[in-house]
A and B are shown apart, each in its own frame.
Chain A
Amino acid sequence: MRRQIPLMLVLVLGIFFFIQFFVPSRLSTNIYQVSLQWLILISAFAIVLAIGSLVNHHLLKIKRRREHWPYSYATLAGLVVMSLLGILGRFPGLGLLDEIYYRLYLFVQAPMDAAMFAILAFYMASASYRAFRARSKEALLLLVSGFFIMLGVIPLGALIWDRIPDIAEWIMMVPNMAAKRGILFGVGLGITATSLKIILGIERSWLGGGGK
């Protein structure tokens, strides 16, 4: 029964909303609008789940004294402080807390986040030097295309030869797009097939337990 109810809900609602798309009546539109609000509410619960999972993970880490457990205190403290500042700062008369939240985010969290991402540039430079080798004709073709794209997207490319941006544009607009279209068609058909399988109850892995 625990599995049959969700399966039945998906079947009924899947078929209903498929038909609803083609029925422009007032009732049908109202149901659609209410369902959209429900969807937004359900999405908000995903954040609650994520916070619960994060707190559980770090409390367990502290309790069992796992490797680097003291850092979990920093994570939990950050979560509590930022949440309190963000929530309380919205109350009248407590605008200062909102300002502190804004500054902490912009001058502490944002630079840390951006710095972590920026480190990728160094690894990418090192990796492209080691891996981007003309080992075959195909690899050579990729190398030449990559060169034109890299030159085409920087102002220096046009200064070296004014046709380089056009060549880069052609690579993006013709060979790249041919491949992308193929992938998009494949993904589209895959989504349709998977959706049908879920609606009809053939695909059940979303219920958990490996589809058993």
Chain B
Amino acid sequence: MKILEKMSSIDRRVIFLLVALAVIIPLVANIGLPSRPGKYTIEMYGFIDRLPAKSQPLLIDATYSPSMMPELQPMLKAILRHCFARKVRVMLMTLDPNGPALCEAALREVAPEYNAVYGEDYVFLGFKPGSSAVIMAIGENVRQAFPADNYGKPLSEFPMMADVRNYADIPLVVSIAGSAITQGWVIYAGTRYHASVGAGCTAVSTADYYPFLQSGQLVGLLNGMKGASEYEWLNQRNGYSTARREAGKGMDAVSIVHLLLMLFIVLGNIGYLAGRRAAQKQ
């Protein structure tokens, strides 16, 4: 009985050590758990997959800081790979001052893989403060919010931007964010300016966006590292990417940690119930 009761008081250093091992081992070893793409990942993927090549550019807002990088950066890269492979043009922007270098890192890695040309296949608009004001300003005229790109070159000098004025000329807005700014995109870009909006968020905030999925205000949703991993899997299955599945590897570690956590919770509850029964007997 005492062994059962002790299960509710495992030293936290033991827990820390096991969690560290559960993260490190799957990242070092090649487990490669299979992915089963979820409904909302498929919907987002399908929407981008149906966009004609060399058409009007889609707008990606990558608003997150390095703390959310493991979940959201692979998502951004997977969407960029999908777009560049299909020759779908991209405008990339961020509403987080931490964002520009992360966007730049993703572009520097992905664009050369597909020989994507700056100004013809993609434009990096950079950071702009103002959150919802920027979203609304793009609804009036994208040049009002971003007169020039991240490097100071006027947007009018880019051939791919010639016919882009506002959301009416943007087939999809993808908000990849670690904050509530996605709701701003839904409310202002989606409801006020009738833009199609898709989202990618951290796993912890996924629950907040389900109402927008059901109402059709989001065309799809990538759920944290799982969503990124599924998107990478779809890219590889359709021959759009041969790059290493970054989120897929991360998902292996997440899977093992989830199982470990569940084991701890079960042990904790066994110990708790054993302790309660012992107290009742006394």
Contact = CB atoms under 8 A, between A and B. Distances in A.
B130 A43 contact: yes
A109 B66 contact: yes
A212 B224 CA distance: 45
Nearest to B134: A40
A39 interface: yes
B211 A172 contact: no
A36 B144 contact: yes
Contacts of A121: 19, 23, 257
Interface in A1-48: 29, 32-33, 36-37, 39-40, 42-44, 46-47
Contacts of A110: 66, 69, 101-102
Interface stretch (B33-41, B47-55, B85-93, B155-163): B33-41
Contacts of B269: 132-134, 143
Interface in A117-158: 117-118, 121-122, 125-126, 128-130, 132-135, 143, 147, 150-151, 153-156, 158
Nearest to B40: A169
Contact of A134 (B226, B258, B272): B272
A177 B210 contact: yes
Contact of B140 (A33, A42, A90, A153): A33
A74 B104 CA distance: 26
Contacts, number: 150
B66 A132 contact: no
Size band of the interface chain A makes with B: 35 or more
A159 B141 CA distance: 49
Contacts of A114: 66-67, 69-70
Contacts of B251: 154-155
A73 interface: no
A172 B206 CA distance: 9
B137 A40 contact: yes
B65 interface: yes
Contact of A125 (B129, B141, B214, B261): B261
Interface stretch (B10-18, B114-122, B167-175, B238-246): B10-18
Contacts of B137: 33, 36-37, 40
A181 to B, nearest CB: 5
B79 to A, nearest CB: 20
A81 interface: no
9 contacts: A37-B144, A110-B69, A121-B19, A125-B261, A129-B268, A147-B265, A156-B255, A165-B36, A184-B211
Given A37-B144, A165-B36, 8 more contacts: A47-B129, A105-B101, A133-B269, A151-B262, A154-B254, A155-B34, A176-B207, A180-B207
- 9 nearest interchain CB pairs? A117-B67, A39-B133, A110-B66, A43-B130, A113-B66, A40-B130, A154-B255, A155-B33, A129-B264
Interface of A: 29, 32-33, 36-37, 39-40, 42-44, 46-47, 90, 101-102, 105-106, 109-111, 113-114, 116-118, 121-122, 125-126, 128-130, 132-135, 143, 147, 150-151, 153-156, 158-159, 165, 169, 172-173, 176-177, 180-181, 184
